[in-house]
Amino acid sequence: MPRHVSEHNNRSHATGRAIFVIISPRFARHMLYWLEWILGFLYLLLGPVTWGFFTFGMFKGRGRMMLLSRPPMELPKDPPRVTILIPAKDEGERIRDCINSALAQDYPDFDVIAIDDRSTDRTGVIMDEIAAANPKLRVNHVKEGTLPVGWTGKCNALHTSVNQASGSWLLFVDSDVVLQRDVLRATIATAVERRFDLVSLLPALEGHTFWENLVVPLAGCAVSTMYLVAFTNSPEMPKTAFANGQYLAIRRDVYDAIGGHQAVRDRFCEDVEMARILKARGFRPRISWGADFAAVRMYSSLSSIFRGWGRNFFAGSLGRPWRILAAIAFLIFCSFSAYIALGWGIYRNIHPVSFVKGWLWITTSVAHLVIMTGALAIMYSWSKNRRAYALLFPLGGAMLLGIFCRSLWMCITGRVEWRGTRYTHRMDPMLAQSVTTAKGN
């Protein structure tokens, strides 16, 4: 046999032996053993360690947002006049509690403008009834068919009414919010004393049904995390800002300087965008914990929760999917992974591959569940809901995942329907800059 043929055969046999070694059952078991250790280490980081940092961040963030106190700070000798503006569409009898709580403020100098935004029920009639008995209240009626193209209903309602406001401070309050008597006093006293240009509150989340109490606080927590809400109060992060239109107080001169609601007219979360514009231009917006000063019942059914929060996540991300995708990844890899790891640990205990069996998986997953459930219980308590709902996170988290998927679909289609109005416009990222430039000219 020629020498080169013999050498070729020898190399072939050597390669075959090498392949046999690589794919041998012993080597495969060894690789799977180390792969499981690597996966276990990654799970430790993504699960209990991540939730440990998350819990620490919850407390730090809440500490940053504790701006209002009781008793509140002293008002200046000549407190600024405040105009409270309340837009409403098809709220029915619920609007009565909101307006009455606004009229009951113990602040010395304020008035209220209620705006009936194209309602088809008795909302406008109820407003007129209250106004007839209280001179502090004026009512504006926005007629059907008057919504300009490219405007959201709420922005248009406030824009058309703000010119009637006489206050040097404006307070925008959503129609599903009920205020405590001292909230306006506490807000303005804090804003004047600390020279804030905008103060927005996070109210208590009121719920009357199982789904409200389970899902709404979870969604609120997701918003706070996705948009780094607490860092609104950090001057070191000029691009991070958040405001909550359920309760938003702003200096009138600052409101006019940024172009008012015209600068955010196509935004479904105009409150967040307004705070971003203010902070980027050197003003001082602030967000405060307000669960002891106001309460809101956002939605009354599971379907309205899906529609409302789906819109909120879509709008807060300006129609871009990246924050929503990151939130989905957090739910799957950092939260639901606890139950997968626990199940795998039980399986490994029955079918061990090493002396530790599945106890490392079980111990790590139990620690994960304890930290995560404890953090969720605290979150529910802070929002004025029962801590026991934290035990139902597999169900609540699944609902939240469904809401995120709805938001992603909105990002794809660009279609939003809210309060009987269907919107198909895309949000213009340069809108605020063009409006303020035009005002400057």
Contact 55, 374 (CB under 8 A): yes
User: What b-and-e string marks burial along 336-356, b requiring 16 or more CB atoms within 10 Å of the CB?
Assistant: bbbeebbebbeebeeeeeeee
pLDDT given at position 19:
44
The DSSP letter of residue 88 is E
- 295 closest CA partner among 212, 224, 230: 212
Q: Which positions ≥6 away from 139 have C-beta within 8 Å? A: 113, 114, 115, 116, 124, 127, 128, 131
Q: What is the model's pLDDT at position 29? A: 65
Q: Which domains does the chain have, with CATH numbers?
A: 65-315+429-440 (3.90.550.10), 322-413 (no CATH)
pLDDT of residue 356: 65
Return the amino acid letter for 325: L
According to DSSP, residue 265 is labeled: T
Using 70 as the pLDDT threshold, list the residues of the chain that sit under it. 1-24, 26-30, 33, 354-356, 418-441
What's residue 28's pLDDT? 64
- The pLDDT assigned to 436 comes to 47
Check residue 435 and give its pLDDT.
46
Q: What is the pLDDT of residues 348-360, one digit of tens each?
A: 888 887 666 788 8
Per-residue pLDDT at 198? 97
**What is the reported pLDDT for 419?**
59
pLDDT of residue 262: 93
DSSP letter at 164? G
- Rounded Cα–Cα distance for residues 74 and 195 (Å): 14
**pTM (2 decimals)?**
0.85
pLDDT for 140 equals: 95
CA nearest neighbour of 249 among 324, 194, 313: 194
Give start and end residues of each alpha helix (H) in 290-392: 302-316, 322-329, 337-350, 359-382
Distance from C-alpha of 8 to C-alpha of 10, rounded to nearest angstrom: 5
Q: Long-range CB contacts (< 8 A, 24+ apart) of 387-391?
A: 389/213, 389/214, 389/217
Q: Given the DSSP bridges, would you call strands 198-202 and 169-173 parallel, antiparallel or unpaired?
A: unpaired
Place of tokens 């790891």: 341
Helix (H, G, I), strand (E, B) or coil at 112: strand
Could you give the residue ranges of the DSSP H alpha helices within 174-301?
183-194, 210-226, 252-257, 270-280
